[in-house]
A and B are shown apart, each in its own frame.
Chain A
């Protein structure tokens, strides 16, 4: 098998972060292709051709009837078997922002109760309107659960990156379900108070706005499925692929080799994971 790690970056119907998402995979040695959803739906292309699937951010179908819902339905009804097969064969999937919303609404996230079960595409959580009622673009501080099975976030402790959403508040019906995710270390990434020490910021107590930009339960910014292969998050790590996108880069004095943004490692992890499995 070649060294090539093929990444399908979905686009169409109002997805709009497809170009930068494709670009960051290429930067870390992947080989990405922006693929219109309908190529898969109509069957002239197949997910089997790819090693990684990325569902980027955007406003699929204008977020009407709930963000990610209509795109989620297209995936759930038209691509059900392809998606199940993709996950079962151990291939990573990432959903960012609108892509995360779509994965939650298809039921790929948080997924079944444990890693031994097949993905059942049952919706167990949701992402709803920010408590502020406003769509906002602002930078947040994120911290990662170092024990998470998530293959995308290995070795990452804390990063900053932007959120850009109006419906990012992660909710589940009961604490029991949240506890289960917590025990499984599926609460992969959460909003934290930037003044806390890196590594000790994670907290279940609700942070005030704007540290938590949306009022998510337990400050959840992103979760993974029990296998750690499927990962979704509201913030945009691809929008921090380089330091010149950091809001304070004019206050930093960086050498030529210090310009990589800390969002890039997430994508590198997945590409390297795929290589390691060969």
Chain B
């Protein structure tokens, strides 16, 4: 059979009313990001088809699949750029971007699927590319720079053709990405009977991310006679590990999978209090124990910590779970692919919870460098605006194509995230309490003999070493194989199929393939039955020739591992076939006590389950708290607060993110009762997401978050307090059921282990200790169990002393019950005459506030030091929240807004923007401190509400002894006036405020 390569190029028609939007978007984004207008940009989509069909066979079908007969022109085996009816003049430049070999090409896969419909049973491979044609490029624009904005060399190829190339006919064309043939290497035996230096070298060179103690623990394992005897019986090297085993241990014992820092024994010294103590596991002490204590008091905590996400009973019929993950390192290397795999990855955590939950909502929280950054940038890092665009696009495509609404999120900016962006992706899941066969769906129940299927995508060389890589700091030598692009449609098909399999009671155990690949997924599931036997030879591959260890640890995406009882395998496979999902039995559960990996007949790994999961030695770390010294924040006395308000509203941390957030589908599933943007023009800020996922039933689920990394500059403990309180405040603003809320802690820290590369490790660890102690204190007081969490502990870029470390950052996500979504509140003022109350007190807490950073960055203040917001009486605070939430549930309050970044002034301004209404506010007597601090301080526990006069007395009664202050009234004048007694502090036009707030981060470059 002859194999042909056929090229198809498609470009938009230029007839009346037709546009080349794809090209024009390039022009607009370059204007928005760099202020450069490159003139008209045209686009060409290309397809390289490798199959048994030649151009003659494909040409008649081109309009059936590749080009739309109404809007596009398609050509076979010619370059459209040379077609004078489309390009009458030779263009200035064309940039053709295609994938590198082995990189996931989703359009190519879809085209191949479509090709099979026309040519059934054809054996084809299709690769795609895009050509951007600059018809009249200004000479000032550098070609190489322009190309660099259009592709990521880590995963893509770019071919440039200048006007000279094009007119002389010597422009090179892109060709099919040839994947080099690889030959499977037989497992090698690694000799561990070597000097310590050599053990370390093995770990470093092999990207194992294991320290000396861990390498020695592995060494010791292979010295024990009992293990040697057992190994002999299965015919594997008796006294030394195979590369498969070493890789498997490195994955399972990675910081990413084992959370060794959170599990470590910490010697903590506090120079302020003279404390000198030992903490045996921050996780057990401050996160797990409090939750287990709370579990004794409530009946709705169904599953915490041990599964892929935490599960709570929502009502008698349904349970709800939630998980949040980070995908920071991959997003730094390839913002688009890294972020997409982040969101589709956490969707799989939900699908892998219990016997399978259905993802019903996503949340996204990003931390980036300032998008307007003009300072220095290491050559290996992307500009923050590029990171923002890429990450946003990845999450948008991942979430939208999966049909899961994005209901809540945040974007935070700080210079230190230039080194490593933080990409938090969360997902909420829903599952029936019981399946048709009576099993509780939050519990897995595999038995020895069950078949273990790998379902979904195939295994490739992409994604090898993701888990160990993310446990190392980012350098310019970070491997490209750690980067992958998600394939949401393959995953969506798999998700549809698995949920049907669950409802047909075909699943006994399920987990996702994320970090560590099959070694982690099957390895973790094997703990249930105490053993498994895998045959790597059965694993479907994207590419032949992968070695055993690569197949075992590859993190290729879109895969679930599912256990099925032998009686159900036939039905399971039939269901997979219907959905066109690949499902292959690759292993079987046993009770042998061993993680037994074969490749065909040959045993390539034989590790005791106990050693695999519990063999990693506990780290012992040093922590020392010396409070950081920050120059005191002393704002100038002669500030124009009206101007300052407009500037504050345009601060990236405060400004509207609407143009970004609107690109997420937040309403698919027809359940979103409070949307990300609210109010008259639907552009006021939503405080929390509220969904009613059972169609027709008004019972809801609240989803909110809190994040406050700035406060870590004074105290990481205060940072955590503020994050938790913010998440709770946001939830209260929509009327959450305060007695049924659960939280997720996602820590992102710089490396806190003292070493040559991290001389300040003790301090960073002390920050972590303080953060955890506050987490416990506040969560216990708020009766808010943390049911799932995650940590990412190496968020640094570069090498000391030129290392950029992120500010210690914890995202707190919250999900809780809502009694009836018909009674909820939104932030926008509703009508003239509403009375405005502040719930809570203003305190003089301007330390590390947004206004302190703003004025310090403008050299109008010395520094950001001072009192950071604290929460001295969380129990009392909870009572206030309970009362306020009840007034919303009772329908008394329909307007409430969280008071956080930028303090009271910003909160009230946002309420005016949302309602397109004015307000007159008096801040006299609402707390301690001068007028400036009452305007801008970010004291916790505060919510601004507006109440219709007919409900005012009931509201006051309901709040009883809680601190509430009448601060003003809503007006239909388009002005926000804020006074302090007789002094007018702010008089601002609502239209101006709206403009400041909405334009700062628009970045669309026009319609």
Q: Report Cα–Cα, A181/B947, bound state, in Å.
A: 51
Residues of chain A within 8 A (CB-CB) of B821 are 244
Stretch at the interface among A129-137, A223-231, A270-278: A129-137
* Number of A-B pairs, beta carbon distance below 8 Å: 200
Q: What is the size category of the interface that chain A forms with chain B?
A: 35 or more
- Asked whether any CB of chain B lies closer than 8 Å to the CB of A242, the reply is yes
B668:A17 contact, CB within 8 angstroms: yes
A19's nearest neighbour on chain B, judged by CB, is: B669
Residues of chain A within 8 A (CB-CB) of B824 are 250
Residues of chain A within 8 A (CB-CB) of B677 are 247
- Asked whether any CB of chain B lies closer than 8 Å to the CB of A207, the reply is no
- Asked whether any CB of chain B lies closer than 8 Å to the CB of A142, the reply is no
Residues 10-40 of A contacting B (Cβ, < 8 Å): 11-17, 19-20, 23-24, 27, 36, 38-39
A62:B69 contact, CB within 8 angstroms: no
A20:B669 contact, CB within 8 angstroms: yes
A119-140 near B? 1/0 per residue, CB < 8 Å: 0000111101111111111110
Residues of chain B within 8 A (CB-CB) of A65 are 65-66, 107, 110-111, 114
Query: Given known contacts A164-B667, A171-B17, A250-B826, is B489 in contact with A13 (CB within 8 Å)?
Result: yes
B665-691 near A? 1/0 per residue, CB < 8 Å: 111111111110111101000000000
Query: Given known contacts A13-B489, A17-B403, is B71 in contact with A36 (CB within 8 Å)?
Result: no
- Asked whether any CB of chain B lies closer than 8 Å to the CB of A239, the reply is yes
- Asked whether any CB of chain A lies closer than 8 Å to the CB of B825, the reply is yes
What is the CB-to-nearest-CB distance from A209 to chain B, in angstroms, rounded to a whole number? 5
Q: Most A CB atoms within 10 A — which of B70, B401, B671, B895? A: B70
Q: Report Cα–Cα, A66/B74, bound state, in Å.
A: 13
Q: Report Cα–Cα, A131/B830, bound state, in Å.
A: 33
Residues of chain B within 8 A (CB-CB) of A241 are 670, 695-696
Query: Given known contacts A61-B114, A171-B17, is B492 in contact with A14 (CB within 8 Å)?
Result: yes
Q: Report Cα–Cα, A77/B120, bound state, in Å.
A: 11
- Asked whether any CB of chain A lies closer than 8 Å to the CB of B184, the reply is no
Q: Most A CB atoms within 10 A — which of B68, B72, B669? A: B68
What is the CB-to-nearest-CB distance from B161 to chain A, in angstroms, rounded to a whole number? 24
Stretch at the interface among A67-75, A84-92, A150-158, A183-191: A67-75
Residues of chain A within 8 A (CB-CB) of B580 are 13, 38
- Asked whether any CB of chain B lies closer than 8 Å to the CB of A245, the reply is yes
Q: Report Cα–Cα, A255/B899, bound state, in Å.
A: 32
Q: Report Cα–Cα, A101/B989, bound state, in Å.
A: 44
B383-419 near A? 1/0 per residue, CB < 8 Å: 0000000000000100011110000000000000000
Q: Report Cα–Cα, A236/B668, bound state, in Å.
A: 9
What is the CB-to-nearest-CB distance from A253 to chain B, in angstroms, rounded to a whole number? 9
Contact of A13 among B493, B666, B698, B828 (CB under 8 A): B493
B571-597 near A? 1/0 per residue, CB < 8 Å: 000000011100000000000000000
What is the CB-to-nearest-CB distance from A162 to chain B, in angstroms, rounded to a whole number? 5
Residues of chain A within 8 A (CB-CB) of B24 are 133
Q: Report Cα–Cα, A254/B821, bound state, in Å.
A: 13
Query: Given known contacts A133-B21, A241-B670, is B28 in contact with A64 (CB within 8 Å)?
Result: no
- Asked whether any CB of chain B lies closer than 8 Å to the CB of A47, the reply is no
B106:A132 contact, CB within 8 angstroms: no
Q: Most A CB atoms within 10 A — which of B12, B107, B400, B580? A: B400
Q: Report Cα–Cα, A63/B106, bound state, in Å.
A: 10
B830:A137 contact, CB within 8 angstroms: no
- Asked whether any CB of chain B lies closer than 8 Å to the CB of A251, the reply is yes
- Asked whether any CB of chain A lies closer than 8 Å to the CB of B52, the reply is no
B673:A248 contact, CB within 8 angstroms: no
Query: Given known contacts A38-B578, A64-B110, A244-B673, is B678 in contact with A135 (CB within 8 Å)?
Result: no
Residues of chain B within 8 A (CB-CB) of A39 are 578
B401:A70 contact, CB within 8 angstroms: no
B489:A62 contact, CB within 8 angstroms: yes
Residues of chain B within 8 A (CB-CB) of A162 are 667
Residues 79-133 of B contacting A (Cβ, < 8 Å): 106-107, 110-111, 113-114, 117-118
- Asked whether any CB of chain A lies closer than 8 Å to the CB of B692, the reply is yes
Query: Given known contacts A59-B489, A73-B64, is B662 in contact with A138 (CB within 8 Å)?
Result: yes
Q: Report Cα–Cα, A65/B130, bound state, in Å.
A: 12
What is the CB-to-nearest-CB distance from B28 to chain A, in angstroms, rounded to a whole number? 7
Contact of A12 among B12, B72, B493, B659 (CB under 8 A): B493
What is the CB-to-nearest-CB distance from B462 to chain A, in angstroms, rounded to a whole number? 18
Residues of chain B within 8 A (CB-CB) of A64 are 106-107, 110-111
Q: Most A CB atoms within 10 A — which of B22, B65, B489, B674? A: B489
Q: Report Cα–Cα, A123/B63, bound state, in Å.
A: 10
Contact of B70 among A57, A126, A129, A251 (CB under 8 A): A126
Residues of chain A within 8 A (CB-CB) of B118 are 73, 77
- Asked whether any CB of chain B lies closer than 8 Å to the CB of A172, the reply is yes
B686's nearest neighbour on chain A, judged by CB, is: A247
B641-668 near A? 1/0 per residue, CB < 8 Å: 0000000000000000001001111111
Residues of chain B within 8 A (CB-CB) of A135 are 396, 400, 663, 665
- Asked whether any CB of chain A lies closer than 8 Å to the CB of B19, the reply is yes
Query: Given known contacts A62-B401, A70-B113, A135-B663, is B70 in contact with A23 (CB within 8 Å)?
Result: no
Residues 887-907 of B contacting A (Cβ, < 8 Å): 894-895
Residues 190-241 of B contacting A (Cβ, < 8 Å): none
Q: Report Cα–Cα, A149/B117, bound state, in Å.
A: 34
Q: Most B CB atoms within 10 A — which of A13, A63, A65, A129? A: A65
A128:B71 contact, CB within 8 angstroms: yes
B1004:A132 contact, CB within 8 angstroms: yes
A36:B579 contact, CB within 8 angstroms: yes
Residues of chain B within 8 A (CB-CB) of A124 are 70
- Asked whether any CB of chain B lies closer than 8 Å to the CB of A159, the reply is no
Residues of chain A within 8 A (CB-CB) of B826 are 250-251
Residues of chain A within 8 A (CB-CB) of B781 are none
B69:A123 contact, CB within 8 angstroms: yes
B71:A139 contact, CB within 8 angstroms: no
B21:A130 contact, CB within 8 angstroms: yes
Q: Report Cα–Cα, A147/B930, bound state, in Å.
A: 66
B25's nearest neighbour on chain A, judged by CB, is: A133
A61:B668 contact, CB within 8 angstroms: no
- Asked whether any CB of chain A lies closer than 8 Å to the CB of B514, the reply is no
A20:B489 contact, CB within 8 angstroms: no
- Asked whether any CB of chain A lies closer than 8 Å to the CB of B629, the reply is no
What is the CB-to-nearest-CB distance from A59 to chain B, in angstroms, rounded to a whole number? 4
A132:B68 contact, CB within 8 angstroms: no
- Asked whether any CB of chain A lies closer than 8 Å to the CB of B15, the reply is yes
Residues 196-243 of A contacting B (Cβ, < 8 Å): 209, 217, 236, 238-239, 241-242
Residues of chain A within 8 A (CB-CB) of B698 are 244
Residues of chain A within 8 A (CB-CB) of B457 are none
Residues of chain A within 8 A (CB-CB) of B402 are 16
- Asked whether any CB of chain B lies closer than 8 Å to the CB of A173, the reply is yes
Query: Given known contacts A16-B402, A59-B401, A61-B489, is B665 in contact with A137 (CB within 8 Å)?
Result: yes
B1004:A236 contact, CB within 8 angstroms: no
- Asked whether any CB of chain A lies closer than 8 Å to the CB of B822, the reply is yes
Residues 991-1007 of B contacting A (Cβ, < 8 Å): 1004, 1007
Residues of chain B within 8 A (CB-CB) of A259 are 822
A133:B28 contact, CB within 8 angstroms: yes
Query: Given known contacts A14-B489, A245-B667, is B682 in contact with A138 (CB within 8 Å)?
Result: yes
What is the CB-to-nearest-CB distance from B759 to chain A, in angstroms, rounded to a whole number? 46
- Asked whether any CB of chain B lies closer than 8 Å to the CB of A112, the reply is no
B111's nearest neighbour on chain A, judged by CB, is: A65
B677's nearest neighbour on chain A, judged by CB, is: A247
Residues of chain A within 8 A (CB-CB) of B682 are 138-139, 247-248
A-B contact pairs, 25 of them (CB 8 A): A14-B403, A17-B668, A38-B580, A61-B113, A61-B489, A62-B488, A66-B68, A70-B110, A73-B65, A73-B114, A73-B117, A77-B118, A125-B70, A126-B70, A139-B682, A164-B665, A164-B667, A238-B670, A239-B668, A239-B670, A245-B673, A247-B675, A247-B679, A249-B822, A251-B680
Given contacts A61-B489, A128-B19, 4 further A-B contacts (CB under 8 A): A19-B695, A38-B578, A39-B578, A126-B71
Chain A to chain B: the 5 pairs with minimum beta-carbon distance, closest first? A16-B403, A64-B110, A133-B25, A20-B670, A23-B695
